[in-house]
Copies of this chain bind each other. A is one copy, B any other.
Amino acid sequence: MNLNYSHHLEFRVRYSETDRMGYCYHGNYASYFELGRVEALRSLGIVYKRLEDDGILLPVVSMNIQYKLPAKYDDLLRLETTLVRTTNCTMEFTYVLRDQHALVLTNASTVLVFQSLHQGKPIRIPEFIQTILSMYEINQ
């Protein structure tokens, strides 16, 4: 299923996230994308914490990041998170991270798989999530 559901989030680069170059450490972007994803899902009525409490995990199976320009300490960043695709068991998100002047700093994508906590195996996307997501389906 191809989708086009986007969500925007603003946050500042924390001091703890900077590195010796004075930039946001490149490893910290993964947690930014997670923030974007979690808030995008929350805005759809899907609370990730409740999924986990119900025994459904959603680990990342691949991540792809293009670093174009550095984010710097205290920068007010704007993250656009887009849910672009689902398969039986996976979701794919893309991310565009911009600074306060709307310059693109980073492009990224992640694929996540629905997994059973107890069996540790991929599972089909839960019905209620499919129902919600189908409202944002696009033909391609």
Residues on B with beta carbons closer than 8 Å to the beta carbon of A64 = 62-65
Name the one of B23, B49, B60 contacting A26, with C-beta atoms under 8 angstroms.
B60
Q: Cα distance A34–B62 when bound, in Å?
A: 18
A10 CB to closest chain B CB (Å) equals 13
A102 at the interface (CB under 8 A from B): no
Please name the residue on chain B nearest to A20 by beta carbon: B18
Residues on B with beta carbons closer than 8 Å to the beta carbon of A30 = 16, 25-27, 30
Residues on B with beta carbons closer than 8 Å to the beta carbon of A34 = 14-16, 27
Interface of A is mostly: mixed
Q: Which of A20, A59, A66, A74 has the most CB of B within 10 A?
A: A20
A and B contact pairs by CB, cutoff 8 A, 30 listed = A14-B31, A15-B19, A15-B20, A15-B25, A15-B38, A16-B19, A16-B27, A16-B30, A18-B19, A18-B20, A19-B20, A20-B22, A20-B52, A23-B59, A25-B30, A26-B30, A26-B59, A26-B60, A26-B63, A27-B27, A27-B29, A27-B34, A47-B74, A49-B73, A49-B74, A59-B67, A62-B66, A63-B65, A63-B67, A64-B64
A interface residues with partner B (beta carbon < 8 Å): 14-16, 18-23, 25-31, 34-35, 38, 47-49, 52, 57, 59-68, 70, 73-74
